[in-house]
Structure 1
Amino acid sequence: MIIKELTLDNSLNSSKIAPNFYEEVVNCFQEFKTLWHRLQTIPFQPSSELEMFLVDLTQEQTGAFKIRGATTSIGEFLKNRQPHTDSLVVASSGNFGIAVAVMAAKFALNATIFMPVSSPIQKQDYIKSTGAKVVITNDGEARQKALEFTRKNSHCFFLDGAQWPAFRGNGTFLLELLQLGLLTNKKTALVLPLGSGSLAIPTGLILHQVRPNAELIAVEPLTHCKFLAKYVQNVQPTWGITLAEGVALHQLPQLSDRLLPEIVNVIFGVTESEIITAICYLWKNCQLKAEASAVLPIAAYLANPSFFSRYQQVYFFITGGNIEDDLFHKILRGNVTQ
């Protein structure tokens, strides 16, 4: 089994880093909740007496969780923008670009999305359908090209959700769990995919403030285990092709790199075959169509279910459903075996 788990130091003083973060998340939810789909949880009981749930974020308007961070980022931009500034720039492999494009159109803003050539065609087409401009770059060059374009044209650049305005929006998912009374004082784990940290960081900050007994588990593909490799000897990313392109970053944003070591309790790395197994399992057993980056939490569970017996409650965040139809059916037929 090629799953690695690491218990990290959990010593964050969130009152110093983000003293009003929880209140800011509450305010964001009140301001923008009518634009978002209500949170859904699905009981997940494959063969266990544990209380386990899927937190289904695929039902959002854009099919993924990043719509909330994009909404609050644009809201912040509208409050503070300079006169006649109406253009946004993003570097994204898909879901954050989609979210910014959709919300930019809603607020009559222009958006230019820089995407790596390997990004799914279905996601490129979705962005184009909103009226946003798509610029294709070589893999690994989207962010730099986007920054150069931003400086040249004096536009506003959003860093793939890894900024405080986006953190506040993405923190509203945990806020809803709390408001629904679903996150109790039982020993609980929240299991999330880890890409830029745009969901893990706000979730971890809120947990520290209101549920310090809960643990945050982050999951990466082993091809891009940039965070795991910092703490586990002889584990290094291969930077190979991964189905989980939505989290295939070569490095963490600076803010995420600083905060993640202090809010994540456990980190898993999963293989491509384990990701494929998770996609098939969710569809066959839960009728949930999810993209590869979104199923990382289920891949971790299916590969090592005994690890989770230490908890009383487990929430698996399924963060997006924007998988290309052709790829999805190939996976279900067993024609993808990476």
Structure 2
Amino acid sequence: MSDHIDYKDVVQAAHRIRGTVRTLALAPVDPGTFGDESAVFLALEFMQHTGSFKARGALNFTAAHVDDRTMPTAGVVIASGGNAGLACAWAAKQYDVPATVFLPTTAPAVKVKRLRAYGATVELVGTEYHHAAEAAAAHAAEIGALQSHAYDNPLIAAGAGTVLEDIYNRPGGPLLDTIVVAVGGGGLFAGVAAAATQHDVRVVAVEPQNCRALNAALDAGDVVDVEVDSVAADSLGARRTSRMALDAARAGDVRSVLVTDEQIVAARRALWDHRRLVVEHAAATALAALTSGVYDPAPGETVAVVLCGANTDPATL
């Protein structure tokens, strides 16, 4: 399988998952919030199955392998900080495929509980994503299972990219100038960027200052390892971005920006105070680019901010 992704892959994914995933809901931000002449929409993808955008990529991955008869009887194995595992377990359940999910021991308890509710076998290993990834790879090889990935797979990324297709396929939906997404390993970003090139849309890639895998790769000119230390690390804590994401960032109209943990927390709190929306820190990371002023929409600019997930503990507000 190629590690390249383009618009046709996103379109194919949209056809494959249509009717099973939930259609993206959009909510306009109050006029004047980010400048008197800009129009900003919140893309409420945290309302998706499993509570995050990851359901799109996981379903595309599972359906493609089932359709191609490349899904082994041992099922699928994935390492995940939480959301990708939830999505993998949910997608596998749709096709009665066994799923085993490896997570770091730092994964939120709410995610572990939901994984088991989807029928997945859960293994907690190490304290960071790469520990779980190593254990998952060894287990998949041992039992002959298909190894999925939280973000570094063309089918996963293409499914994630259908977020933008949903916006463009809405009757009377807005014609965007810009879409703002949080970046961890880069699956959502790579998929959205592939669709954005087709639609002539700028992508703002937002990362925490201390979880900056894509930003660091752009600075270095190659994929590099980074330190992971952020309030959003449970979802955005990949040590390195994917090659797909780096290639997409170089090829399209992309802005890579960084926000502080304090700005992320403030954006998350603002969503609760003004909208009564509870999202995880990864989702607030995208919005923080606007609330902090790190990305300032121009007059007349139409922007969608993807609120990517809400698998979080409301008590942490």
For the pair 1:221 / 2:208, whether they are aligned, the reply is yes
Corresponding residue for 2:151? 161
User: Secondary structure of 1:309's match?
Assistant: coil
Change in CA separation of 1:266 and 1:244 when aligned onto 2, cut-off 3 Å: same
Change in CA separation of 1:148 and 1:310 when aligned onto 2, cut-off 3 Å: farther
Change in CA separation of 1:216 and 1:273 when aligned onto 2, cut-off 3 Å: same
Deviations 1:262-300 (A, max 9, x none): 235211111111111011001111222110011112111
Correspondences of 1:67-86 after superposition (within 5 Å): 67-82=55-70, 85-86=73-74
Counterpart selection for 1:54 from 33, 36, 42: 42
Q: CA RMSD in A?
A: 2.2
For the residues of structure 1 that align with 2:285 and 2:50, how far apart are their CA atoms? Answer: 20
Change in CA separation of 1:244 and 1:42 when aligned onto 2, cut-off 3 Å: farther
Counterpart selection for 1:33 from 6, 18, 35: 18
Change in CA separation of 1:146 and 1:183 when aligned onto 2, cut-off 3 Å: same
Q: CA deviation at 1:241?
A: 4.4
> 1:191 is aligned with what amino acid?
V
TM value normalised by structure 2: 0.88
Corresponding residue for 2:111? 123
Corresponding residue for 2:125? 137
Counterpart selection for 2:27 from 42, 47, 55: 42
Contact 2:79 2:149 in 1 (8 A): yes
Contact 1:70 1:99 in 2 (8 A): yes
> 1:91 is aligned with what amino acid?
A
For the residues of structure 2 that align with 1:133 and 1:266, how far apart are their CA atoms? Answer: 39
Moved more, 224-233 or 268-277: 224-233
Corresponding residue for 2:90? 102
5+ unaligned residues in a row in structure 2: which ranges? none
Moved more, 31-40 or 79-88: 79-88
For the residues of structure 2 that align with 1:83 and 1:272, how far apart are their CA atoms? Answer: 40
Corresponding residue for 2:244? 255
Counterpart selection for 1:276 from 265, 269, 282: 265
Q: CA deviation at 1:238?
A: 4.7
Deviations 1:99-145 (A, max 9, x none): 11112122111111010111111101110111111111112301111
For the pair 1:290 / 2:279, whether they are aligned, the reply is yes
Correspondences of 1:231-270 after superposition (within 5 Å): 231=218, 238-263=227-252, 265-270=254-259
For the residues of structure 2 that align with 1:125 and 1:200, how far apart are their CA atoms? Answer: 28
> 1:219 is aligned with what amino acid?
V
Contact 2:259 2:294 in 1 (8 A): no
Corresponding residue for 1:10? none
Change in CA separation of 1:216 and 1:73 when aligned onto 2, cut-off 3 Å: same
Change in CA separation of 1:43 and 1:244 when aligned onto 2, cut-off 3 Å: farther
Correspondences of 1:312-323 after superposition (within 5 Å): 312-323=301-312
User: Secondary structure of 2:207's match?
Assistant: strand
User: Secondary structure of 1:127's match?
Assistant: helix
5+ unaligned residues in a row in structure 1: which ranges? 1-16, 332-338
Deviations 1:247-269 (A, max 9, x none): 11111133333433323521111
For the residues of structure 2 that align with 1:106 and 1:53, how far apart are their CA atoms? Answer: 31
For the residues of structure 1 that align with 2:218 and 2:147, how far apart are their CA atoms? Answer: 31
> 1:105 is aligned with what amino acid?
K
Question: Percent of aligned pairs with the same residue?
Answer: 22
TM value normalised by structure 1: 0.83
For the residues of structure 2 that align with 1:91 and 1:264, how far apart are their CA atoms? Answer: 31
Moved more, 45-54 or 224-233: 224-233
Q: CA deviation at 1:231?
A: 4.3
For the residues of structure 1 that align with 2:14 and 2:295, how far apart are their CA atoms? Answer: 36
For the residues of structure 2 that align with 1:41 and 1:83, how far apart are their CA atoms? Answer: 35
For the residues of structure 2 that align with 1:178 and 1:23, how far apart are their CA atoms? Answer: 15
Q: CA deviation at 1:325?
A: 3.0
For the residues of structure 1 that align with 2:249 and 2:236, how far apart are their CA atoms? Answer: 15
